[in-house]
Amino acid sequence: MLQKQNWNMEHPDWEKWCTRYTDSEIMPKARLLYFHGGGLIFGSREDLPQGHLEWFTRAGYEILAFDYPLAPAADLEQIAEDVRESINGVCEKDCRLTDAKLPYYLWGRSAGAYLCLIAAASGRLKVKPAGILSYYGYGFLCDNWFRTPSSFYQTLPSVDASCLDYIPGKLHGEGTLDTHYAVYVYARQTGNWSRLIYKGREKFFYLNFTLRTCEELPCPLFAAHSTGDTDVPYEEFLALCERYQAKRFIESGNVHDFDRDPDNPFTAELLEASLAFLEEHQQG
């Protein structure tokens, strides 16, 4: 039976939470450290579909799903550092979160996958992961798409900059669709997305917050993407896969987060392929 436990992680600067999912009848053999999507602007650690949770926990994988501070209240540097702290905290066996030292994998969807990738590429993880599951992730390897207006989002009703007035100015780790999604739409419609998530010099963005200077990841990579992805270009996926010889999973559709639909036949195939990747690279 699926069990869920929430922890307040007592961060000094903001209220940070983690959710742990396990199967009460199965002893975990490894961990999935999960980071949610939402363009770094919206989303929640509790966004995983029920089917995903049951699939992996029944197979013996404990899932730890983390908050991280959202932009624009948090800068990308703060966000990336918080993610590394979460990963390293588990590796140091925080007794509030873990019962034993187990091998771990990083798992992210969209922006969460991006955060997993740059955390692994940073060289600042105390224990290297056994692998990375990247669902429609990116590394800002291709030019322009993240700095120019999105043709897809420009087909949606126009969103004014006043949407920024309705989200908190202080650090926070959850952004609902009702309040924060409009900010992401505004950012993509205007081409201001990168300016909302990063406040530093452009040179250091490319050096520290893209994968352009990382020739090799410390672990194997599984990457899934739709050919007609409306948020992250398919070319970005191809560049990611070619750079790191990733195990590829391709869905022939035009939905970004295609696995949110349990009736999509590709969802079950994705979970099966993900589990096969985890089993292939099991450590410990």
Residue 36 lies in a domain: yes
Burial tier of 228 (Cβ tally within 10 Å: 0-12, 13-18, 19+): middle
Provide mean pLDDT across the span 16-25. Answer: 95
If one counts the domains in the chain, the total is: 1
Residue 179 lies in a domain: no
pLDDT at residue 263, rounded to an integer: 93
Residue 177 lies in a domain: no
Residue 60 lies in a domain: yes
Domain around 17: 2-143+201-280
CATH of the domain at 123: 3.40.50.1820
Q: Is the pLDDT of residue 31 over 70?
A: yes
pLDDT at residue 284, rounded to an integer: 45
Structure-token match 């989303």, residue found: 43
Residue 148 lies in a domain: no
Confidence of residue 14 (pLDDT cuts 50, 70, 90): very high
Provide mean pLDDT across the span 29-47. Answer: 97
Residue 173 lies in a domain: no
Confidence of residue 53 (pLDDT cuts 50, 70, 90): very high
Distance CA 234, CA 238 (A): 6
Residues whose CB falls within 8 Å of the CB of residue 117, separated by 6 or more in sequence, listed in order: 108, 132, 134, 137, 138, 139, 211, 217, 221, 240
Task: Point out which residues pair with 66 in neighbouring strands.
Answer: 18, 35
Confidence of residue 99 (pLDDT cuts 50, 70, 90): low
Q: Is the pLDDT of residue 148 over 90?
A: yes
Provide mean pLDDT across the span 113-127. Answer: 97
pLDDT at residue 10, rounded to an integer: 86
pLDDT at residue 92, rounded to an integer: 83
Provide mean pLDDT across the span 63-92. Answer: 96
pLDDT above 90 covers a percentage of the chain that reads 93
pLDDT at residue 235, rounded to an integer: 98
Tokens of 161: 């900059």
Residue 130 lies in a domain: yes
Residue 24 lies in a domain: yes
pTM for the structure as a whole: 0.97
pLDDT tens-digit series, residues 153-183: 999 999 999 999 999 999 999 999 999 999 9
pLDDT at residue 97, rounded to an integer: 61
Average pLDDT, the chain: 95
